[in-house]
Amino acid sequence: MFDYQTSKHPHFDNACRTFAATHNLEDVAAAVGMRSQILRNKLNPIQPHRLTCDELLAITDYTEDARILDGLLRQINCQPSVPVNNATPENFQFCALTAAASVGAIAGEAVSPEKMTLARRNQILDRASDAIRSLSLIVYSVEARFQSMPVLAAAVDIVTTNAAGMM
C-alpha cells in the first residue's frame, strides 16, 4: 500500500549534526538520563552508536525540537512531524502568520544569489518544515472547529449534497 523508500541523502545524519550544534548537550543528556559524551557519540554519524527510539522520543519531548525526528522522516521520504496537540482554535492565527512568514522567507531565499551552504540549506529546510507544520495545524484547527458544531456540519453536508443534485 505504501512504498517507503530510504533516501540516498543523509537527512538523519544532518539533522543529528544540526541538533548537536544548536543545543546544550550536557543539559539535554542530563534531562534524558544519559551522560553527555554518550549523547554526543549518538548524534555523531561517524560513531557506531545510534539513538534508540525511546531516547529520540525523550530528547524530542524535552527540547520540543523535532529536528531529529523530522530528519528521520525525511530519510524515508515523509513529511515533517506535526504536533496535533498544538492544533487549537487559539493557535489558528499564529499558525497562519507562521506559515506566511516561513513561505515568505523561503521566497526570499529562492531569489537570493548567495552560495548554497549547508547552513543555508538547513535554514531553508527548517523554514519549509515550519510552514508545512503550521499549515497542517491550520487543517486540524479548522476541522476541530467545524466538528465542534455538529449542527453546522450537518447543514453543510445537506447543502453540499443537494447542491450537487441541482446542477
At 35-63, the pLDDT tens digits run 999 999 999 999 998 999 999 999 999 99
* Judgement on whether residues 69 and 90 belong to the same structural domain of the protein: no
Distance CA(106)–CA(120), nearest Å, equals: 11
* Judgement on whether residues 89 and 61 belong to the same structural domain of the protein: no
* Judgement on whether residues 40 and 112 belong to the same structural domain of the protein: no
* Judgement on whether residues 58 and 93 belong to the same structural domain of the protein: no
Distance CA(19)–CA(111), nearest Å, equals: 27
* Judgement on whether residues 92 and 67 belong to the same structural domain of the protein: no
Distance CA(72)–CA(58), nearest Å, equals: 15
pLDDT per residue as tens, the chain (167 positions): 456 667 777 889 989 998 999 999 999 999 999 999 999 999 999 999 899 999 999 999 999 888 899 889 888 888 778 777 777 777 788 888 888 999 999 999 888 888 988 888 888 888 888 898 888 888 887 777 777 666 655 666 666 666 555 55
* Judgement on whether residues 108 and 136 belong to the same structural domain of the protein: yes
The backbone region for 33, taken as left when phi is positive above 0, alpha when psi lies in -120 to 50, beta otherwise, is left
Residue 26 maps to a domain:
yes
* Judgement on whether residues 52 and 69 belong to the same structural domain of the protein: yes
Question: Considering 53, 75, 97, which residue would you say is the last residue of a domain?
Answer: 75
Asked if residues 68 and 74 have their Cβ atoms less than 8 Å apart, the reply is no
Question: Considering 44, 75, 106, which residue would you say is the last residue of a domain?
Answer: 75
Number of CB atoms found within 10 A of residue 133's CB? 22
* Judgement on whether residues 71 and 89 belong to the same structural domain of the protein: no
- Per the structure, the complete domain to which residue 118 belongs is given by 84-166
Residue 4 maps to a domain:
no
* Judgement on whether residues 42 and 92 belong to the same structural domain of the protein: no
Residue 69 maps to a domain:
yes
Q: What is the pLDDT of residues 148-165, one digit of tens each?
A: 666 655 666 666 666 555
Structural domains of the chain, count: 2
Residue 1 maps to a domain:
no
